[in-house]
Structure 1
């Protein structure tokens, strides 16, 4: 029996029996999916408000990213704003499900079926989210999940497959690309939680950041990593291939393609066992944050969002206020990828305004800190932001 079998079986149960393949990271699983379902040179629709690592994974797979228009309320894909000329030029659609807010998978599935192209779901933030009465990640030919987010395992994920007969093929592709387990990497992984807890418990913030960087787990000075356009242009002709893009794809997770050792798998299994409790806490906090003045209220039951994007007038001031109370703001994706990378490397969104507005005003808050975060923002006088389309006569 595979060393990954227990983890895979648990995930199958969450997805109604959908075939699951363990991978060392979501980004690695996404690369496998893009290589399997997309011919090199194809154009893939994706969200411009997304982790830049995912952008580089698409380039490594030999694809041309096409940036989608977004709904400014939650950063989901706005299918109505995508011109038919864009649809007709696509080879695949890649969802993001930003912070756990579901992209409109039923509509995207219908468009993909009409065009005869694959739908691939990035469910890294959405392990507990649903859309159309089904779990996120059950609409596409393939979907990828992360165990670094809700479970906080800091490693691992799943590639899930609509067609279970493809499992052997994808498992072989995974194994061919995995790098051997390194004792030093396993030791660093196992001691990481204790190192972080120690320096943070002592309020040694600078020491904590230094520790993270030494372990290769935090490398960004700014929200976006440096594009290094000249180097990237030289790497493009080598695609599809991971190695030429390794310095971009590995950022904040140097172990993204290492074969996991037994200690790593045991810790991951323990974390996955607690997932339902974690999801309940995220759901409760999400409901509270969305009902507040900075949230986007919904008639639907709250999703267990990984982060809740509060919409604030001055995000920098809001993040600074939270930081003073030791509430960290992470998972920012600003500027949008078309502004970050330019037309040399991506097709810009046909309607970039809403994505730019959302990226500028979204403040991702951990829902487990909902009450404290709201109290801090209110005490600091942080004002909510309202998209101009919600104001009569408003304009960007």
Structure 2
């Protein structure tokens, strides 16, 4: 990973969310404010709260869900302690511009690159602009565990490694066995077409943590947890969702499997580039929604970004999700409603310009580029229409 990031020091962590908590605790004093995207996983929102920080929701570019730096008022910039990028679905946030603002203000830039291994911005890999960046191996590699905390200052490695080790839970043999067996169990369920039945059983047993896109906020409990921040334990029930082993020290078997999957990353990235190109040319992309206002993604003649998911822009997103589900194409990584609508002013500063984020969250359909041809055929066959926005993008880039 160090080689992929131009020599930046990298520290292995059991999950991206855990690495992000380490970074926020190291670079930000409790009580500070962090600019972040409102179209993001709620787990990341709770990680920011667990670090003792106040999330500030940024205005977004409706074309790709990236932070719209030109729409952030100076009064908001002056009040920040840090900026946290999202690089949603692999589409990069404007890191060069954000780096410039952070340098002007003397605050850290922290890059969440969970979706963005292989993506570039400003001619450099995503994750090479901030004081720290975090990567997930649960995404492109499909390892379902592991990640990296990347550091601009290599002298901090020992200090952050010690902080990591102090927070890790000991390896549990039962968790290691479950991790090693899980891919075979999932493969068996898919082969027998029992995935739907298994999910229904989980719901009936009350074990499903997300019945809707967002997990339950539980405002009264969250308010009590805030009095104990910064700390992970009071926020554990929120931060663990979808990954209960997020702070578990990895065993040898888990590390071996992760290493094998990571070794195949370049082939995976090539497949994502090919599928991304097909989806962006399929009639549901930014070019159709915003003719004449397409954000710069790749210089002419170069390959597209290897997006983790390609956010097609469709008029009726729920109908599109249902049409894909009928063909056993699962739609994940939906982040609707935006975090300021989800959490409210009690827990976050709302975006000064919320409409573009709300529009993008409602119309973005994240499609796995490895199933590009199937997905496009389903959408066309179901008569799904491309989105037609009434707004004009701010055009900060």
Pairwise TM-score range, normalised by the shorter structure: over 0.9
Match of 1:365 in 2: 367
Q: List alignment gaps of at least 5 residues for structure 2.
A: 288-293
- 1:133 correspondence with 2:135: no
Count residues with an aligned counterpart: 381
Match of 1:44 in 2: 34
Q: Secondary structure at the match of 2:127?
A: coil
| Cα distance change of structure 1 residues 212 and 158 upon mapping to structure 2, 3 Å threshold | farther
Match of 2:3 among 13, 32, 40: 13
Deviation at 1:117, TM superposition (A): 0.2
1:149 aligns with 139
Deviation at 1:205, TM superposition (A): 2.4
The answer to whether the aligner puts 1:263 opposite 2:253 as a matched pair is yes
Question: SS of the counterpart of 1:238?
Answer: coil
Q: Which moved more, 1:45-54 or 1:290-299?
A: 290-299
Deviates more, 1:217-226 or 1:318-327: 217-226
Matched, 1:171 2:161: yes
How many Å apart are 1:292 and its aligned residue? 1.8
Alignment of 1:320-335 (within 5 A): 320-335=322-337
Kept in 2: contact 1:217–1:251 (CA 8 A) = no
Q: Secondary structure at the match of 2:162?
A: helix
Of 35, 48, 52 in structure 1, the residue corresponding to residue 25 of structure 2 is: 35
CA distance in 2, matches of 1:211, 1:165: 50
Q: Calculate the aligned-residue CA RMSD, in Å.
A: 1.7
Partner residue, 2:290? none
- The within-5 A match list for 1:278-357 is 278-297=268-287, 300=298, 301-357=303-359
**SS of match in other structure, 1:158:** strand
Residue aligning to 2:291 = none
Give the secondary-structure state (helix, strand or coil) at the position aligned to 2:227. helix
User: Any stretches of 5+ residues in structure 1 without a counterpart?
Assistant: 1-10, 392-396
Whether 1:187 and 2:188 are equivalent positions in the alignment is no
| Equivalent pair of 1:200/1:208 in contact (CA under 8 Å) | no
1:335 deviates by 0.2
Paired residue secondary structure (1:310) = strand
Q: 2: distance between equivalents of 1:199 and 1:15? A: 38
Report the Cα distance in structure 2 between the residues aligned to 1:269 and 1:115, rounded to whole angstroms.
39
Which residue matches 1:206? Answer: 196
Give the secondary structure class of the aligned counterpart of 2:150. strand
Output the CA distance in 1 between the equivalents of 2:210 and 2:356. 26
> Whole-Å Cα distance in 2 between the matches of residues 72 and 289 of structure 1?
18
Question: In structure 2, the residue corresponding to 1:388 is in which secondary structure?
Answer: coil
Deviation at 1:321, TM superposition (A): 0.4
For residues 168 and 359 of structure 1, the distance between their equivalents in structure 2, rounded to whole angstroms, comes to 40
Q: CA deviation at 1:208?
A: 3.6
Measure how far apart 1:209 and its partner are. 2.3
Contact 1:293 1:384 in 2 (8 A): yes
Q: Hey, what's the Cα distance between the residues in 2 that align with 1:218 and 1:160?
A: 33
- Secondary structure at the counterpart of residue 171 of structure 1: helix
Q: 2:383 aligns with which of 377, 381, 384?
A: 381
Query: What TM-score, normalized by structure 1, do the two folds share?
Result: 0.94
